[in-house]
Structure 1
Amino acid sequence: MQDSGVTPTDAHQGARRHLRPGGWAAVLVPVVATAALILSAPMPVRAVRDITFDSYQRLSPRPYDPTLPVRIVDIDDESLARLGQWPWPRARLAAIVDRLQAAGAAAVAFDILLSEPERTGGPEAPGDERLAEAVASAPVVMSLTLTNAPGETPLAPKAGFATAGDDPLNFVPRFPGVIPSLPLFTKPAAGLGALNWVPDRDLVVRRVPTLMALGDALVPSLASEALRVAQGASTILVRASNASGETAFGRQTGIAAVRIGDATIATEADGALRIHYAGTRPERRLAAWRLLDGSADTAALSGAIVLVGTSAAALADVRATPLEAAVPGVDIHAEFIEHVLSGARLMRPDYAPGIEVAALLTFSALAAALALRVRPLVSALGFLGLAATVAAASWLAFSRWAMLIDPVWPLAGTAASFATAIAIALRRTEAERRWIRQAFARYLSPEVVAALAREPGRLALGGEIRPITVLFADIRGFTSRAERLDAREVVTFLNTVHTPLTDEVMRHGGTIDKFLGDGLMAFWNAPLDVPDHVAKALKAALAMQAAIGRLAPTLAQEGLPPLAVGIGIHTGPACVGNLGSRHRFDYSAVGDTVNAAARIEQTSKVYGEPILVSGEVVAAAPAFTFVLVDEVRLRGRGEATRLYALVSGPDGKDAGFDDFRRQHDAAIAAAINGRTSAQELLEEVSRSPAGARHARLYAYHRTRLAENEPVPEG
């Protein structure tokens, strides 16, 4: 045999040098792509981010504080049923204002647009004047709606604005038109606020504007104006980028905060407040009919900001929030005010994408290092730990500091880099298996070595056709074992298994053709004549199975489970000789006989039989005991091949075995031919004591018959 001059260590290190640069480059691709997504935030990224943050709110909503001075007078379904359908007479709305003023409300804000004169007739026809009188005598905030339809409707704002830093008109939502409440109501009102929402593309109201713009004039939202009126403030202060204390380095980054009286609202760049919702609460509501008939307890209204709105289904003033799919719009105004008064904060800071990219880079590097340097199970557990760390950090930022840091996309990028690294690691494992095969020398029995020494001419290139018996053996479940071991442990394991198998092959006069990493190929009757080569191959197979059984205590000491070896044997003509070049060659066998033996070994996995042989082997070894297994079409062969299981050697047949074999072979033959009696025969033979060792074979045939499968291919 010609030595290649390449040691196992050289091959291993060379492969590592080859894999590492390309591997790290492949790992970086998903990281860079995910970082770009985080920074650019296209719609799918924002959608997933919103879902994540909504889930946080559902897991931990803002605790509701019933002492907060915010209440809703609800024109609910029962109020409509008792007092009549909408629209109500304006005098009735005036009565609501009067009762709220009498109860000591700090502000009364109408979440109702009264843009048209009253249409009702009768004695309540002067209702508009009656409501205007009530508005003039109470701290009332009337509403308006900003529109995208240009118009010339004059609007006299009630609130004054002071700005620090960049012009807020550059950042807030701007509208060209307006639909106000009637001037009869807006002139005497203490405040005037916009009803507009700016929902996200999924129509969920996560953020509510504090300010909007009508042309070049700032307009407060209804909730902001209610806060101003309740505190008796005249001016709203807006702090934007480049104000004193705001670090923007000359860039116009947006609004930082809005101050209304004593309340400072930290906003996002467009002046919107991201609300931490508490959810719809019955304690917040007071039915309008109870207020009007005097049955309501009005103690909680003293000093409160009271919003007049509706939850009636017929009026369809319904919005979606992170907590609920259908919420009356007036509740969102109330949540806004409660959020501000409670001192709650919920922000996605402008540096959040930077934190997320940093987390992506850090955890992707750690995950890739785990995948490439430790065993797959350990690396998988490590990745789960990293993922849990990212998720926990995001949750901690929300629950403790009210900061919204997205864990999903950093985790997605980390998972992608980890998966890429795992693929590289698995590829490396497969490469190491090939290196291990190359590292094993091609063994010959001592007799063959001596014969070659006597006849060096046999090393000349070329070959001959001669009958041989070929044996393939394969370690079952090697891949799953190898994934739990490092490279050194894999080599040790293979050496532990291959040594006794090799010893038995050579002890029975065989030639080791090659090691296949988790298996081996051997043949008999070449390069020297071996009398009874079929019998010797069969004896070697039985001895190999016995040797594997003796390895169980050794494997148990090393913490490894018992193993099984599948063996396939075929005999026939093959081309044997030195195959290769003058500089490097191997003594080997090729041809249909070799291919058939390999297919038989692979097929043995299906039936659960440890040693599977062809009909040619059975015919050449009458002294051995076999049972019929199946008839298959081996790839590359036109005719079906009968397969048998080797049961014992010439001296191993038990008394009464011949009766069992006849019963067994009859049942299997019936199954092969698809006879209707096959199921019954298989069931009967499976109940015999000797049939227990072939239970998997019987189960296979019963399933095959039940599913009417054709002759299998191997």
Structure 2
Amino acid sequence: MTQVPRLESTSTARRALSGVLLGLGVTLLLSLLRGSSGFERVEGSFLDARTRMFVGQRAPDPRIVLAVVDEIEVREMQERTGSGWPWTEDYLQLLPQALEGFGARGLLIDVVYLDRGQDDEEVATARREVAAAQRAQVAGYADALRSFGRAGAAVLLARTPTWTHPPRVAAATERFLPLEGAASPEGPFGPRGIDASVRAFTEGVRYVGFANTVSDVDGIVRRAAPVARAGDRAVASLPLVGAALVSGKPVRVTADSVEVDGARQGLDENGTFLLAFPAEARRIYPTVSPVEVLFASQLIGVPEAELSAEDAGLVSRVRTAVKDRLVVFGQNVHGHEDVLATPIEDNMLGPELLATTVDVLLHGDGRLPWSRLANALFLAFLATGTALLGTLPRGRLWNLAGVVLAAAVCVGLGVLLFAAGHAIDLFTPLVGIALAGIAAGTLRLLTEGARNRWLEGTFSRYLAPDVIEALKRDPDRIQLGGRRREITIFFSDVAGFTSISERLEPEKVVRLLNRYLTGQSAEVMAQGGVIDKFEGDAIMAFFGDPLDMEDHALRACTSAVACVKALDALRPTLSEFGLERFDIRIGLNTGSAVVGNLGSDRRFDYTCMGDAVNLASRLEGANKHFGSRILIGPATREQAGDAILVKPLGDLVVVGKKNAISVYELIALADEATEAEHAHVAAFADAVQALEVGAWAEARDALGRAQDARPGDGPTAWLKGVATICELEPDIHVWDRRVVLHSK
């Protein structure tokens, strides 16, 4: 019997468990690494690629216009008035006056100057003197903002929970945008205090909102937080203030969303959403010159007939630019640069990013990042699926196929979900897929490599190479138990071997058998047969399992003919053993049998059982009665068809059976048969037909021709004996073809 290393380790359940454990192990490892800066950076680049892929899905909201003070605006203002930046409040107050006069929808002031009270005494004294001199101007600017009534200004959340400049903060917090809703998100900043800006920029506005941006570890602004916690209250961001000014409707906030005029924007577990960009190029939104706005304000109320052509053009441009629009007022000048890195531009203007955020809140089309738990489950699904495809199916290509399939699913879902408004991790799952594939492949090499070496070492003497390869692909075929299969069974032994073994010394018997069995087994395996066992001089083999063979009957016949021919190579060496004659008998039968392993999980035989097997053994023994070499059953004859040359011998009743079966002697393969063999078969068939009708003389003549075509043929001699008995017995008028054996 054969010893096998732990058959149960290749069971489907074990392989499935291995795949699940590998997938979960990869998930745990990557979940721990996901928060590292390296993973965050690469994951961010994958987000950027998808963001750029879907840029421009809709047009920018036409209700937003930018008024940005840049170097050109500063130079123009200085040339006209001699005032540098920052402009004094007596000029700035013209901005809300102009917007009110030209019918603007609102004003968003994205300018923040912080006075943290940390200057030395000389600088602090100078500041107080300047503040005192400008107090009247500040009051005028604040009054202009109050008169306009639709302005919002920026404050900053402090790095600490304590508020700086309590008097200023108290004034600012009175103007935070009212938020409806029972709950609000914590936001990405945690509880913060407020750094109030210079009083003039917040005093007089209707609302204030925090202008803090949310940047990732690589410094890129991909997301926005519309709500945060300041002290014990929820406060709105400046973009949310802008969206409220545009819509004119209350803002509703829940723990996972904000809603502006029916447009709901979902928020992730950190209270943020991913920005969507309506265009690629700089200056997504239309612009208006702040200097032109200031000077156009001085022309409000002047009759059109009194305006010069230049002034009329100025008024027309400004009115067209700002009417019914939210004006985002910001700066980007030397010393006060306001540019940020975004997925679509390395240096996007801060006011433009602010306008984009307002736009997204108005339409609710920002993308919602999946939570860490959801991403971990997605990773577990893909990694486990990859590992299972690498461990469950047989064949190494399944491992590669699993990696490719899982990667395609990952990328495809990532893109489709992004288009639908959801953002999932891509880099981490792809790494997980690769790791799971590598782990499954390594496990396969470690376990199946040893098993394949064992298979080759154990079965290479008994199985053909293609059969061994089939077992490598599916070792489950050699698990304990069996399955019912249609196969062709092969039995052979040496005629008169008992007397041969008695005449020869044991060493010579072993040497003779080794030579004989080597040649015979080679012919069996050449046709894909499985050598079940050697029992002395006898060989038991079968065809049709573990490989699926539609032509297993023909393969068995081909192997049997080749085994007889192989004796020709052995006969020249018979003199070495003092033998003159050495012949074999073969029985073939096709039928249903149980094929599998008998034994324990450590030691077993790969064999077949059933009536079809027993009949093949009986046919091999029946050769002695007929004097034939290769005897085959009816199913083998039918399945092999015209590819073989056979002659019918009769209807045989073997020992232990009541019903007769038609048996045939296999002479040769049809395409290899000689003319003499064809003539012999034809003459033998004529003799059988003559005996069946009692034509004794015709039978004798046909048997003579058969004998001449194949001198020394055993079945011909046997049939002559049958004919003689039939002719001499007065009670026998015809031969009924029935042959009953009383011994094996």
User: Which band: TM-score by shorter chain?
Assistant: 0.5 to 0.7
Describe the superposition over 1:603-654 as per-residue Cα deviations: whole angstroms up to 9, x where unpaired: xxxxxxxxxxxxxxxxxxxxxxxxxxxxxxxxxxxxxxxxxxxxxxxxxxxx
The alpha carbon displacement at 1:196 in A equals 1.5
CA distance in 2, matches of 1:53, 1:366: 23
Please, which of 338, 363, 372 is the counterpart of residue 317 of structure 1? 338
CA distance in 1, matches of 2:284, 2:187: 36
The alpha carbon displacement at 1:82 in A equals 2.7
CA distance in 1, matches of 2:128, 2:247: 31
The alpha carbon displacement at 1:210 in A equals 1.5
Kept in 1, the 8 Å contact 2:390–2:399? The answer is yes
Amino acid in the other structure paired with 1:258: V
Kept in 2, the 8 Å contact 1:207–1:273? The answer is yes
Partner residue in 2 for 1:140: 151
Relative distance call for 1:417 and 1:177 in structure 2 (3 A) is closer
Partner residue in 1 for 2:98: 99
Please, which of 1, 15, 20 is the counterpart of residue 28 of structure 1? 20
CA distance in 1, matches of 2:265, 2:9: 57
1:76 aligns with 2:70: yes
1:237 aligns with 2:248: no
Partner residue in 2 for 1:63: 57
Describe the superposition over 1:339-385 as per-residue Cα deviations: whole angstroms up to 9, x where unpaired: 122331411244x7347525633663365335542433455245313
1:421 aligns with 2:440: yes
The alpha carbon displacement at 1:336 in A equals 0.9
Where in structure 2 are the equivalents of 1:365-376 lying within 5 Å? 365=385, 368-369=388-389, 372-376=392-396
Gaps of 5+ in 2: 79-83, 116-126, 297-313, 464-499, 511-544, 549-554, 571-575, 577-744
Amino acid in the other structure paired with 1:317: D
Partner residue in 1 for 2:212: 196
Kept in 1, the 8 Å contact 2:111–2:201? The answer is no
Kept in 2, the 8 Å contact 1:30–1:413? The answer is no
CA distance in 1, matches of 2:462, 2:265: 80
1:181 aligns with 2:181: no
Kept in 2, the 8 Å contact 1:280–1:327? The answer is no
Amino acid in the other structure paired with 2:456: I
Please, which of 400, 406, 413 is the counterpart of residue 386 of structure 1? 406
Aligned length: 448
Identity of aligned residues (%): 18
Amino acid in the other structure paired with 2:338: D
CA distance in 2, matches of 1:343, 1:380: 41
CA distance in 2, matches of 1:230, 1:442: 85
The alpha carbon displacement at 1:52 in A equals 2.4
Relative distance call for 1:311 and 1:183 in structure 2 (3 A) is closer
Please, which of 339, 350, 355 is the counterpart of residue 360 of structure 2? 339
Relative distance call for 1:120 and 1:98 in structure 2 (3 A) is farther
Kept in 2, the 8 Å contact 1:37–1:45? The answer is no
Kept in 1, the 8 Å contact 2:19–2:392? The answer is no
CA distance in 2, matches of 1:70, 1:35: 45
Amino acid in the other structure paired with 1:205: V
CA distance in 1, matches of 2:390, 2:198: 69
CA distance in 1, matches of 2:113, 2:461: 95
Please, which of 35, 45, 49 is the counterpart of residue 42 of structure 1? 35
CA distance in 2, matches of 1:174, 1:414: 35
Partner residue in 2 for 1:213: 229
1:395 aligns with 2:397: no
Amino acid in the other structure paired with 1:153: P
1:437 aligns with 2:453: no
Amino acid in the other structure paired with 2:35: P
Kept in 1, the 8 Å contact 2:55–2:277? The answer is yes
CA distance in 1, matches of 2:270, 2:218: 19
Relative distance call for 1:192 and 1:30 in structure 2 (3 A) is same
Partner residue in 2 for 1:282: 283
The alpha carbon displacement at 1:71 in A equals 1.4
Report the secondary structure of 1:202's partner residue: coil
CA distance in 1, matches of 2:453, 2:185: 68
Kept in 2, the 8 Å contact 1:370–1:379? The answer is yes
Kept in 2, the 8 Å contact 1:317–1:328? The answer is yes
Please, which of 357, 360, 365 is the counterpart of residue 380 of structure 2? 360
TM-score (norm 2): 0.51
Relative distance call for 1:198 and 1:110 in structure 2 (3 A) is same
Amino acid in the other structure paired with 2:25: A
Amino acid in the other structure paired with 2:24: V
CA distance in 2, matches of 1:184, 1:316: 20
The alpha carbon displacement at 1:21 in A equals 6.6
CA distance in 1, matches of 2:60, 2:319: 14
Report the secondary structure of 1:315's partner residue: coil
CA distance in 1, matches of 2:233, 2:379: 42
Report the secondary structure of 2:422's partner residue: coil
Where in structure 2 are the equivalents of 1:449-598 lying within 5 Å? 456=506
CA distance in 2, matches of 1:422, 1:180: 60
Kept in 1, the 8 Å contact 2:146–2:205? The answer is yes
Partner residue in 2 for 1:520: none
CA distance in 1, matches of 2:347, 2:505: 94
Partner residue in 2 for 1:514: none
Report the secondary structure of 1:282's partner residue: coil
Higher deviation after alignment, 431-440 or 35-44: 35-44
Larger-Rg structure? 2
Gaps of 5+ in 1: 240-254, 444-449, 461-485, 490-494, 511-527, 529-714
The alpha carbon displacement at 1:334 in A equals 0.7
Kept in 2, the 8 Å contact 1:146–1:178? The answer is yes
Relative distance call for 1:403 and 1:130 in structure 2 (3 A) is same
The alpha carbon displacement at 1:232 in A equals 4.0
The alpha carbon displacement at 1:391 in A equals 1.5
Report the secondary structure of 2:153's partner residue: strand
CA distance in 2, matches of 1:36, 1:144: 41
Report the secondary structure of 1:137's partner residue: helix
Relative distance call for 1:360 and 1:283 in structure 2 (3 A) is closer
The alpha carbon displacement at 1:108 in A equals 0.7
The alpha carbon displacement at 1:314 in A equals 4.3
Amino acid in the other structure paired with 1:34: V
CA distance in 2, matches of 1:140, 1:349: 35
CA distance in 2, matches of 1:372, 1:260: 51
Partner residue in 1 for 2:514: none
Kept in 1, the 8 Å contact 2:102–2:318? The answer is no
Describe the superposition over 1:170-200 as per-residue Cα deviations: whole angstroms up to 9, x where unpaired: 5563455433234455342111122222322
1:54 aligns with 2:67: no
Partner residue in 2 for 1:412: 431
Report the secondary structure of 2:380's partner residue: helix
RMSD (CA atoms): 4.6
CA distance in 2, matches of 1:456, 1:306: 110
Amino acid in the other structure paired with 1:148: R
The alpha carbon displacement at 1:395 in A equals 1.2
Describe the superposition over 1:102-136 as per-residue Cα deviations: whole angstroms up to 9, x where unpaired: 33211111110255679989x99964344233322
CA distance in 1, matches of 2:457, 2:188: 70
The alpha carbon displacement at 1:409 in A equals 3.2
Amino acid in the other structure paired with 1:94: Q
Partner residue in 1 for 2:268: 268
Kept in 1, the 8 Å contact 2:108–2:329? The answer is yes
Amino acid in the other structure paired with 2:409: T
Kept in 1, the 8 Å contact 2:239–2:358? The answer is yes
Describe the superposition over 1:462-482 as per-residue Cα deviations: whole angstroms up to 9, x where unpaired: xxxxxxxxxxxxxxxxxxxxx
Relative distance call for 1:83 and 1:353 in structure 2 (3 A) is same
Relative distance call for 1:187 and 1:383 in structure 2 (3 A) is closer
Higher deviation after alignment, 140-149 or 375-384: 375-384
The alpha carbon displacement at 1:226 in A equals 2.2
